[in-house]
Homo-oligomer: A and B are copies of this chain.
């Protein structure tokens, strides 16, 4: 039997966002690779080997999974969210590009999932209801100058913004720099939401404004949503307001 590699998105925290396609693949494979907390979400069963690895070793993990698939095993790599959005699909393609030619003949499939921005947006109403930009703030893999250029471009285009990887213990500064860029270009009352661990038991949403936001509350599990010029609140009695970025640009009221 020839080997295969499924690059699987588990969705954000909750099991009820795991697609039937991903579930079926996880029942079929012999080996699952992934960052520890994601692999922990996979139910053990006879015949399934779990290979948990550390964060920030994505390329090594992808190469190990490809090598095992090349030996004839049915392998999965799991990501939280969608593997195509700041997750393992790109690492697998990079490993494929660098690896032995025979890896390219493997049966490789990417299985999409609900990404963190969608889970966060769903809690808030429709903050990404118009055009938007999706950015990672990690400067591990790209220079800060590029991140800044992209934040400025997002403001120039009046896009709403979904920001992944805003901060970690090793990278406390970029989120503060990013807010400095945004505050110089967007009105102070622009709605901003910090959505942390959506779908997990410790889920938390902080809805605030660009002026009042405290970037220091962002961590590795936080997804930040920043409104466009048209983004506004829809008040609700006794509940957090919804956030609406309308579909139309000159929104009738």
Contact = CB atoms under 8 A, between A and B. Distances in A.
Interface string A107-140: 0111111110011011101111111111110000
Determine the interface band of chain A, counting residues with CB < 8 A from chain B: 35 or more
Chain A: interface secondary structure? Answer: mixed
Contact of A93 (B129, B157, B159, B249): B129
B237 A104 contact: yes
* Tally of this chain's copies: 2
B253 A84 contact: no
A86 interface: yes
A247 interface: yes
Nearest to A156: B153
Interface stretch (A12-20, A28-36, A44-52, A169-177): A12-20
A89 B130 CA distance: 11
Interface of A: 9, 11, 14-21, 24, 58, 82-86, 89-94, 96-98, 104-105, 108-115, 118-119, 121-123, 125-136, 141-143, 146, 149-150, 152-154, 156-159, 234-238, 242, 244-251, 253
24 contacts: A17-B20, A18-B20, A82-B118, A84-B118, A84-B127, A86-B247, A90-B246, A91-B247, A92-B126, A93-B129, A93-B246, A110-B121, A112-B114, A112-B122, A115-B118, A128-B134, A131-B136, A132-B133, A133-B157, A141-B248, A141-B249, A143-B249, A153-B159, A154-B157
